Chain A
């Protein structure tokens, strides 16, 4: 029997190394040698994560019914197994007539049992949400050691405080973060913009859509008339920045801080990120069909908007895009955080390379990402080093927005497969999802986030599908393809989660940077634990944690393939993460 192509390549690569023919690093060969073993497998059903996600009617008469919802990975009970919170939408009927008989759609908190299964604990935890859920972000806003959750909606938003006993309390009213003037929120993130040790909250407003008087718009896409037109022409919803007062309450400081969304742009993904390396978290807001915001933190409690100056308000051609999801990460390990943005169909997703000090080059096409993404509608996105080679790859959740795409009337289908782009180490990427077992996974994706939920050293992902059941993609083989290190931060002077901390990991000639952050993605949030692939490196020379407070912790000579936890000022502490038990 002849060799399979991959096996042949693997042997070829191995023999090349033996004879010393290619002393330089050959990413393609390395990839061929490792990726054969990596697959993503949808384990949602066996994990017990099977709720049917609701988002309006099947015929999608309104824009509210087409964007779907998201999810958050976070360990709500500090048991060392990361849990999954899934936000659910609703229907126009439920929204207009809440007294309809039956149970309205609700959100889901799935407790990770540590054996590959999850248990729905939503009701006992008290986090069912209310109304039409959109997305969520999780962080320990009150520094009590338990991660809380902020759910944003069409309608008032909800802050659930984690009581530390497996239950939550709705503290929205006390906290003052309902966002009464934001009818439909599109994104949120926690971050400590004034470095006072308490996490502040930014919420982007999407549309102030009046369900009782829905707009009757007429538009077409690719020559096909569609019903759920885009946001242009509709009243935008304002953004809001809430300053954490440190006493369980927040104060809206939007205008004072200079982040007033004066043009009421249609906001989606949000991130706090120190883009220009000045030690202060800036704010990024991706907007749909209008320019993005980049609020530069001036360090005095105020911001200045400089999206155009930074070169990320528009794409590199100066054209506005319908930006949806956002990934923030360092694609070339140069210490500057780059941005990846998903966009509407018939437009390329955009990779902004940070050339230093907060100026971006659009390298979508030269990177190899531009062309293959054009036909598809992107939603959530995140960087994940799925093959543990120490270079961040890209995961994109996709699905057509227009139900009219069913039946092949449009260029791309309604159900689309996620796209994964492997980092080739030279600011170039190649599309690999088919090689990873996802060639046939056609889904109506929307939200999505990553997490090593099975604590096995490789990154998995969850995808929330509109009008369908979630997908949980378990990474099988990533931990064999390369070594890894995970870093969990615990702030003391800085906020408890260490959000905003920059982590530098050095393993031989491999130097990586990442930051603890919330939000990003689309309606979703990845696990806050940082994951670093190490390739063939068996040990890590050093880990530096640059805390928001300015303090730096250093760990030296760490073995690979472990999760380490670091407390600010105290160094390494016991890791909360535990290996999976055998399935019960």
Chain B
């Protein structure tokens, strides 16, 4: 399920430039603190440095600490020689290079700063702060491609730092990549609800996409925010902080304050923002009232309708959410967000047809939105529109190569059309990009097994097991590989491990029975199967195995009974499979291939 890819799109308002400055100040003071400081260095080089004898390191650390004090006091020029000295003593210390980069950056020596940040990144590629500054420098030097790469890396490495989303949005916008730009600005709005300039940028995107009505709304919001009384904004900011720090009493008090300000009574934006802040803080029940009041004040405003729908959905009030979101849909029929959310509701209702319909609308509005593409791909797959699913998922991966979900779906789609070669390629690409993901490694093995390369598959199964011993599939794969080579005892061990992790796992239960049959341990096989059919009473394969056991035990009558169950269940499975044969969307042409 890709339900989680649907974003929370709360859109509060700007709280003024003061807050933005404050954020930057916080950022500046936090900058020298690299994520790995005090922890284990992330790279081999880092590990080597950590193992060096202490003499020069101790001296370097002392210099580094002195420089940090100077930096915090804003004495950048004085800190610089200390850091250079520290660097000479401990050239493999990522944090020293990072500090050097930062110091040079503040002194506007971008070229030198870039070189230091690059060294720091080489030594510690997981430092999001280093990436951020490399992105900033690239942006300043007019290198949008590098800027995008670095900003995206920041997002990959953890929660967005500082104004990454906004800056990345700007770069995308300059590059004409409107979908990505919109996505980033909206993410930025969720972080800095007081920033009216984000509404302005969104308005520009709407304008470029000829969504004039929406653009007008965005510009109006931007303009209104500029004129909103600063008291309300400050109180909203305080409310945000209280929510963030879970100060419940303060939240209630501040809510009262916000609502008592004069503008709040008349300003749906303030009310909407309050609802958004509450929603973001997980206070969904509390968020309903401000949204409803916002809707009462501005019944044709899309945002409160949408946000109320989303809030209701979060509260599990699905039918109310659906109605509310349909109201929002009437106001903005092409809105990717509302279509996407409605699609999620339909997905959960197993209403595949409606989900696809909504997602196709969403895709029209945002053709490059990787989340919509992924969700639509998933729904196509669920509806057996395999070829459509493949195209969608390929596009989703192209747009968002860092998301594993669509990659697994794509592998599944290829498998469904027996295209194991492409499934293998997709698995290999995934494993190459995510070498530490056990499932990605397992998938390579599984696809190799699917094309009969069992021996090549084996190391992948073994590696996946060692990477994540709680993942069931690699054990099943390992069992299968061993069975195929006649090593039934070890196959049995693996299938049993799989069953220990997932007691109802179909492959494990079948594998155990079949291994025992091959080992001629018929009584044990019978006992296992008799238990297994209670766990999975609708599994035809288990009855097939039962037939084989009874026949080998000479119990023909029982075999016939088991066969009868097998035939019944198998017929039902075949009917289901035929009903879900791969097809094309929208024409419902039946596939009568050998697939």
Contacts and interface: CB of A to CB of B under 8 A. Distances in A.
Interface of A: 215, 217-223, 226, 229-234, 289, 308-311, 314, 316-318, 322, 344, 346, 348, 355, 359, 361, 365-366, 370-371, 374-375, 411
A306 to B, nearest CB: 8
A109 B387 CA distance: 48
B536 to A, nearest CB: 14
Chain A, interface SS category:
loop
B594 A289 contact: yes
A5 B419 CA distance: 39
A318 B548 CA distance: 10
20 contacts: A219-B594, A220-B417, A220-B582, A220-B595, A221-B418, A222-B420, A222-B422, A223-B422, A229-B591, A229-B592, A232-B592, A232-B593, A232-B594, A308-B547, A308-B566, A309-B547, A317-B514, A317-B541, A365-B454, A365-B486
Interface in B410-424: 414, 417-422
Given A220-B595, A229-B594, A365-B484, A309 B560 contact: yes
B590 interface: yes
B485 interface: yes
A366 B452 CA distance: 13
A218 B589 contact: yes
Interface in B82-113: none
A359 B552 contact: yes
B483 interface: yes
Given A221-B594, A234-B592, 19 more contacts: A219-B591, A220-B417, A221-B593, A221-B595, A222-B422, A223-B421, A226-B593, A229-B593, A229-B594, A308-B563, A308-B566, A309-B551, A310-B551, A318-B540, A344-B594, A365-B485, A366-B484, A366-B486, A371-B452
B402 to A, nearest CB: 25
B23 interface: no
Interface in B233-282: none
Contacts of B453: 371
B567 interface: yes
A469 B547 CA distance: 46
Nearest to A233: B592
A221 B419 CA distance: 7
A351 to B, nearest CB: 13
B201 interface: no
A217 B593 contact: yes
A220 B594 CA distance: 8
Name the 10 nearest CB pairs between A and B, nearest first: A219-B593, A233-B592, A374-B452, A230-B594, A366-B486, A223-B419, A318-B544, A365-B484, A217-B592, A229-B593
Chain B interface residue bracket vs A: 35 or more
A365 B491 CA distance: 14
Chain B, interface SS category:
helix
Contacts of A314: 544
Nearest to B454: A371
B403 interface: no
A355 B591 CA distance: 39
A370 B593 contact: no
A223 B414 contact: yes
Contact of B451 (A219, A289, A311, A374): A374
Nearest to B563: A308
Given A318-B541, A318-B544, A222 B452 contact: no
B593 A230 contact: yes
Nearest to A215: B592
Interface in B343-360: none
B544 A218 contact: no
Contacts of B43: none
B88 to A, nearest CB: 58
B567 A222 contact: no
Contact of B593 (A220, A309, A365): A220
A370 B452 contact: yes
Contact of B590 (A233, A309, A311): A233
Contact of A361 (B518, B556, B560): B518
Interface string B562-589: 0100110000000000000010100001
Contacts, number: 112
A576 B420 CA distance: 53
A371 B455 CA distance: 10
Contacts of B486: 365-366
A314 B594 CA distance: 16
A222 B421 contact: yes
B418 to A, nearest CB: 6
B323 to A, nearest CB: 40
Contacts of B589: 218
A348 B540 CA distance: 22
A309 B592 contact: no
B425 to A, nearest CB: 11
A196 B453 CA distance: 50
A214 to B, nearest CB: 12
A93 B451 CA distance: 39
Contact of A355 (B483, B540, B552): B552
B559 interface: yes
A222 B422 CA distance: 8
B551 to A, nearest CB: 5
Interface string B473-500: 0000000000111100000000000000
Given A215-B592, A308-B547, A344-B594, A371 B417 contact: no
B452 A322 contact: no
A230 B584 CA distance: 18
Contacts of B541: 317-318
A215 B421 CA distance: 29
B484 A219 contact: no
A217 B594 contact: no
B322 interface: no
B118 interface: no
B545 interface: yes
Contacts of B452: 348, 370-371, 374-375
Contact of A346 (B418, B547, B584): B418
A411 B451 contact: yes
A316 B483 CA distance: 11
Contacts of B559: 309
Contacts of A220: 387, 417, 419, 582, 591, 593, 595
A217 B510 CA distance: 35
A411 B592 contact: no
B142 to A, nearest CB: 43
A278 B305 CA distance: 79
A223 to B, nearest CB: 4
Most-contacted residue by chain B among A220, A311, A374 (CB, 10 A)? A220
B505 to A, nearest CB: 16
Contacts of A359: 548, 551-552
A365 B451 CA distance: 13
Contacts of A370: 452, 484
A67 to B, nearest CB: 13
A374 B387 CA distance: 24
Contacts of A348: 452
B548 to A, nearest CB: 6
B174 to A, nearest CB: 38
A220 B387 CA distance: 10
A308 B567 contact: yes
Contacts of B584: 218
A316 B547 contact: no
Contacts of A361: 518
